[in-house]
Amino acid sequence: MFRQKIPTRIGRLDELANNLWWSWHERARALFQALDSRLWELTGYNPVKQLRDINPDKLRAAASDPAFLNLYDSAMSAFDADILASDTWSATRYGLPPGPVAYFSAEFAIHSCLPIYAGGLGILAGDLCKEASDSGLPLVGVGFMYPEGYFQQRISAEGWQQEVYHRLDFDEAPIQPWPLPPPSGPWLKVQVGDKSLCIGAWRVCIGRVNLCLLDTNVAANSPEDRQLSARLYTADQEQRIQQEIILGIGGVQMLRALGIKPAVWHANEGHTAFMMLERIREEVEGGVTFAEALRRVRATTVFTTHTPVPAGSDVFPVGLVEKYFHHYWEVRAIDRETFLRLGQQDGGDEPFNMTVLGLKTAEHCNGVSQLHGGVARKMWRGLWPGTEEDKVPISHITNGVHVSSWIAPELYELYRKYLGPVWIKRHFDPEVLQYVADIPDDELWASRQILRRKLIRIILNRAQERWARGEVTSQQVLAMGALLDVDVLTIAFVRRFAEYKRPALIFQDIERLKKIINDPWRPVQIVFAGKSHPADTASKGLLQQVYRLAADREFQGRIAFVEDYDMHLARYLVQGADVWLNAPRRLQEACGTSGMKAAINGVPHFSVRDGWWHEGYNGANGWAIGDSLGMTPGEQDNTDAETIYRLLEREIVPLFYDRDTRDVPRDWIRVVKESIKSVIPAFCARRMLREYIERMYVPALQSAKKQESH
């Protein structure tokens, strides 16, 4: 579409725009900014939309501008070097596997221009795909092309969350149809219960990685079925099981139809576990027994659980499972009880649990942090009767974040200056990160100041734009952060709103909090952001409570709730806050990667020692909110709130405002540096992916070779 108007000299701009490689490479983003900086901003930093809307005169001018051409050649050279490299870490270390890793996930978050994600699960999946591209691991992702995605959030004058859905314009997104090769028709037919649905596929390029997104919105389906893949995480159980059948079973069949032959299968959370059932069916229809089919599938399957509490698993009533899977035991060598037991701990009429299904059909299982691994072993010990808890075959691989995607450009250059020009290629090496100590305090502080001011400015701009359009009241503008100060210590509480995350904990003693926030010499401001699930009434009530307090004049405008938290806003928050606050009930946060993103940008973590912070906190790189195990929920709240206030009053606030004659908080910068150098190598996606390769994928490949030899 673009080649008709893009001059030949810069004709590969459309190729670059349609590969999300640009989203984590500063040179590529600078190229599109140089093309038309205002349009780049207005299109939400979406080069596909930018190239669609740009004035052809600007393209012609760029094609004859020496400075632009130098940048273009440099960006394309870097792109080709990455995409075409054969000496990648994965290939050099292990050689190329016989097929890719098939990575199934209900959501993938790559960039805000492709809003097919809800939160942390999708962010993790996106970061893993980017790191697979960087490391040269052959990988194909399988998910859904949600045309309505997750909702956009608006908060009413009364503080209630309102969900607004917008359909994605596919012509403005970095996606392409993925046609099925002959003799397949235009769509793949998938059996969902007693009906046959047609599904199409969209291809998303993420560097060297391909993402296959399934779509039921095709002309051959009924209007009702066309809506099945419209939105993430529907609350209707029947729609949910149909979605998961399409994702798991349809995803396997789509890969087969596309001629893709995975060597390893990785199910990211229980939503995708029907993928294993489909592969068992294939083996049974190929002539082996059910027991042998299960053994073969288990050997080459990795299952990652993100669920620290039983209630977090997807479960379906037996009657609903019978409705959609009765043909499995009626026409194949799998009896009903054996089938149902795959998703049950004790059998009978017990609901069918997707986490149980994943654990029973995968030989390589893991939680997502050290603490969560232990919680998972305790929680699911009953699946391995007679096995000691520490011998339950659920390991852990702690999540990590894709550093190139989340690091602020200002800090990238600062690290490059003092850690060396190839620091980003070696950021997983603790020895390289030791040179963070050599960064001059005043330079690091100056960068941190710039990033906080950028954050406050974008919050102010959002509030002003809503006010200018006449969409909000003056009280709402206050709650949205219109009075935030660019030079005040800024604490961020940013995450999905849920009861166990305790977003209102810091308001336990409102009068004490007011004294902290309104101190005339050492003021503090708090920025909240996050969405509640549309069906979670309790968390919506918590969100309203926080929003109303943000509008309370007695806090002098120093508490803000920023609407519509997404990846774009997240970058400003994790880069620009001064402190990252997290207060979950202990043992209920599986990992929590947002704090990692903040820490690599020099934003110290201030958290309950749950999830990743249990292993990340070293006493000098942030602050820990006690250990309240063994207490009632009320006692936990009181104890943890007291710890938050005490640390703010005695340590955090004084440390931030204690400046030398050059107005630099030396002791604060010491914590910032320790945060950076301790978190980047230990909690980066590169370390995470390499652990998956060495501890999960390679053993699965070895199992596959053993099967072939028999």
Q: Long-range CB contacts (< 8 A, 24+ apart) of 433-437?
A: 433/676, 433/677, 433/678, 433/680, 433/681, 434/677, 436/673, 436/676, 436/677, 437/673, 437/677
- Tokens for 600, please give them: 């690599």
- Tokens for 605, please give them: 């973590």
Residue 627 to residue 610: CA distance in whole angstroms: 9
Residue 556 to residue 559: CA distance in whole angstroms: 8
DSSP character at residue 693: I
Count each helix (H run) and each strand (E run) in the chain, helices first.
Answer: 32, 20
* 665 CB-contact burial (10 Å; exposed 0-12 / middle 13-18 / buried 19+): buried
Q: Which CATH code is given to the segment(s) 89-399+690-709?
A: 3.40.50.2000
Summarised one tens digit per residue, pLDDT across range 288-332 is 999 999 999 999 999 999 999 887 889 999 999 999 999 887 766
b/e per residue, 209-242, with b = 16+ CB within 10 A?
A: bbbbbbbbbbebbeeebbbbbbbbbbeeeeebbb
Residue 155 main-chain phi, psi, to 5 deg: -110, 125
pLDDT of residue 710: 60
pLDDT of residue 149: 80
Helices (H), 577-665: 594-600, 613-616, 633-647, 653-657
Element (H, E) at 161: strand 161-164
pLDDT range class, residue 1, cuts 50, 70, 90: very low
What is the number of other CB atoms lying within 10 angstroms of the CB of residue 462?
17
On the question of pLDDT at 651 being above 50, the answer is: yes
Summarised one tens digit per residue, pLDDT across range 522-571 is 999 999 999 998 988 999 999 999 999 999 999 999 999 999 999 999 99
Summarised one tens digit per residue, pLDDT across range 627-636 is 767 788 899 9
pLDDT of residue 2: 45
On the question of pLDDT at 4 being above 60, the answer is: no
pLDDT of residue 628: 66
Say if residues 606 and 582 touch (Cβ distance below 8 Å): yes
Among 126, 121, 179, 118, residue whose Cα is nearest residue 148: 118
Residues forming a β-bridge with 267: 104, 303
Q: Where are the domains of the chain?
A: 8-84, 89-399+690-709, 403-683
Residues of the chain with pLDDT > 90, as a percent, come to: 84
Summarised one tens digit per residue, pLDDT across range 224-275 is 999 998 888 888 899 999 999 999 999 999 999 999 999 999 999 999 999 9
Dihedral of alpha carbons 291, 292, 295, 297, sign: negative
**Average per-residue pLDDT in the chain?**
94
pLDDT range class, residue 184, cuts 50, 70, 90: confident
Locate tokens 């004058």: which residue? 157
Residue 206 to residue 114: CA distance in whole angstroms: 12
Say if residues 571 and 598 touch (Cβ distance below 8 Å): no
Torsion of CA 603, 604, 608, 613, to 10 degrees: 90
Residues forming a β-bridge with 76: none
pLDDT of residue 12: 96
DSSP one-letter string for 260-322: ---SEEEEESGGGTHHHHHHHHHHHHTT--HHHHHHHHHHTEEEE---SSGGGS-EE-HHHHH
3-state class of 440 per DSSP?
A: coil
DSSP character at residue 246: I
Say if residues 517 and 556 touch (Cβ distance below 8 Å): yes
On the question of pLDDT at 393 being above 70, the answer is: yes
CA within 13 Å, CB half, 14: 19
Q: Which amino acid type is present at position 258?
A: L
DSSP one-letter string for 46-95: -HHHHHHHS-HHHHHHHTT-HHHHHHHHHHHHHHHHHHH-S--HHHHHH-
Task: Report in angstroms the alpha-carbon separations of 522 from 221, 447, 509, 624, 670.
Answer: 62, 21, 19, 22, 20
Say if residues 162 and 154 touch (Cβ distance below 8 Å): yes
Summarised one tens digit per residue, pLDDT across range 431-443 is 999 999 999 999 9
Question: Which of 152 and 597 is assigned the larger pLDDT?
Answer: 597
- Tokens for 21, please give them: 């490689």
Q: Long-range CB contacts (< 8 A, 24+ apart) of 336-339?
A: 338/290
Summarised one tens digit per residue, pLDDT across range 494-529 is 998 999 999 999 999 999 999 999 999 999 999 999
Task: Report in angstroms the alpha-carbon separations of 336 from 165, 193, 322, 324, 339.
Answer: 40, 15, 9, 12, 5
On the question of pLDDT at 333 being above 70, the answer is: no
Residue 672 to residue 559: CA distance in whole angstroms: 24
Fold of 403-683: Rossmann fold (3.40.50)
Residues of the chain with pLDDT > 70, as a percent, come to: 98
pLDDT of residue 3: 46
Cis omega (within 30 of 0) for bond into 97: no
DSSP character at residue 258: T
Among 647, 691, 491, 452, residue whose Cα is nearest residue 582: 491
Domains 89-399+690-709 and 403-683 share a fold: yes
Say if residues 54 and 39 touch (Cβ distance below 8 Å): yes
Residues 6+ apart with CB under 8 A from 14: 1, 2, 3, 6, 51
Summarised one tens digit per residue, pLDDT across range 13-39 is 999 999 999 999 999 999 999 999 999
